[in-house]
Amino acid sequence: MTRYFAPLAYLQQGWADNVLLTVVDGHFSQIETNAKATQADVILDGPILPTVANLHSHAFQRLMAGKAEIAHHPEDSFWSWRELMYKTASELTPEALHVIASKLYIELLKGGFSQVGEFHYVHHQPDGTPYANSTALGEAIFNAGQSVGMGVTLLPALYQYSGFGQQAPNASQQRFIQSSQAYIEQQQAYQALLNAYPQHQLGLCFHSLRATDFDAIKHVMASLHHGQPIHIHIAEQQKEVDDCRAHSGKRPVQWLLEECPVDHHWTLIHATHLADEEIQAIAKSGACVGICTTTEANLGDGLFPALAYEQAGGVWGIGSDSHVSTSLQEELRWFEYGQRLNQHKRNRLYSAQQPRIGDHLFSKALQGGNQACGVALGLAEGCRADWMVWDNTEPFIYASQTQDLLNRWLFGLNVNPIKDVYVAGQKVIENGHHALENEINTAFGKLLRQSFI
């Protein structure tokens, strides 16, 4: 048992003074407010907040950040970006993926995240031949998370086709492809590993409606679903919506909701292009929408209809997806700014209970990330003992009124105030640094020099 004393902490009900947190076996066993510190307590020297679950990650894409920003064609889009992504995926070895994920997860810890939903679809060797160990690449992700202190919700993705109507996969997709039965067996192999990774989770995942079919989805669900998270890319691009309608006569979200019992276990990644009826239906289902603000901007996807979705009571969380940004602060800031730009009005995302934009965005991201990743993060009894400590030498932190702190962080600070990060009660970031980062940065730099992308 260890007790930590925070002069200021962001609890479920808001900011509280003089908070004493008791940690037992990596979880909060007791949280007291208006407490007094003793000599035996660890004193935290700045405001503390819960870290958040990043619900959508493709770790390997961190390697290509900044490489796709060259104009080759006036119609550059997601679909032209995807060709560079395929080249990056073709390079991956388990060893390289471990380095990339380790580098990324340190960056995400510094950015305010302590759990990541790893949407993992590179399963095989470059020619499509399965590894002798079918979990080789996923284990690289598990091991990276464990070595740096990041919790991982691994989401191995079923990927079968190149397009709607069971179109044959192309050569660049061979590393992704497997049958639903092979996927079930791979999931069982991952499940057998989990005891060795106490901070990791396992979920089900379907790449997209264009890359699988409902027979396969239902086969997997019948065989494996027992309450774990379920993720799917959906309606990210207008072309995907158009192709889906041409194939099925229905929009992707409409079709999914008609065919599958979508509920709070599901996370719909992006869901950018929605009809009004789909907005209402997702909210009613209890599913979470995975917003990936900076990636959606980078790819030119479009803007999620957040105001209508929030008014319908919808749940959402934040992911960094392709990792052109690794900052919770930036993802939330631009989620709000995108809505302002779209509607030509200020202060778009709030509630009557939380009129301060920063508080509302942070609380919703925390809630949605927990639901999507199957974890319990937050400064509350029973939750995993994950938190961040803000730098109390920053004037925007120490000189601001307490109720303004989250707004100051999101809309006033252009530096990262996160000083220390704890995961399961263990300090993994100290004074802005990770114990392994120099070693990992050297290995990552070597990969960048060797990369042919």
Can you tell me the distance from the alpha carbon of 383 to that of 51, in angstroms, rounded to the nearest whole number?
11
| CB proximity list for 393: less than 8 A, separation 6 or greater | none
Active site residue 391: no
Count of helix runs (H) and strand runs (E) in the chain:
15, 17
Give phi and psi for 393, each to the nearest 5.
-95, -5
Q: Which of 56, 98, 213, 321 does the annotation list as catalytic?
A: 321
Full DSSP string of 113-176: EEEEEEEE---S-TTSPPPSSTTHHHHHHHHHHHHHT-EEEEEEEE---SBTTTBPP-GGGTTT
Can you tell me the distance from the alpha carbon of 197 to that of 151, in angstroms, rounded to the nearest whole number?
9
Q: Which of 56, 98, 120, 270 does the annotation list as catalytic?
A: 270
Contact 115, 372 (CB under 8 A): no
Helix (H, G, I), strand (E, B) or coil at 425: coil
Contact 200, 229 (CB under 8 A): no
Contact 112, 329 (CB under 8 A): yes
DSSP lists the bridge partners of residue 4 as 21, 42
**CA–CA distance from 308 to each of 6, 274, 276, 366 (Å)?**
38, 11, 8, 20
Separation of CA 329 from chain center: 14
Contact 225, 206 (CB under 8 A): no
Contact 71, 335 (CB under 8 A): no
Nearest to 216 by CA among 264, 182, 267: 182
Residues 447, 448, 451: CA angle, nearest 5 degrees: 80
**CA–CA distance from 347 to each of 222, 330, 340, 353, 358 (Å)?**
44, 16, 7, 14, 10
Active site residue 219: no
Contact 294, 330 (CB under 8 A): yes
Give me the active site residues, please: 270, 321
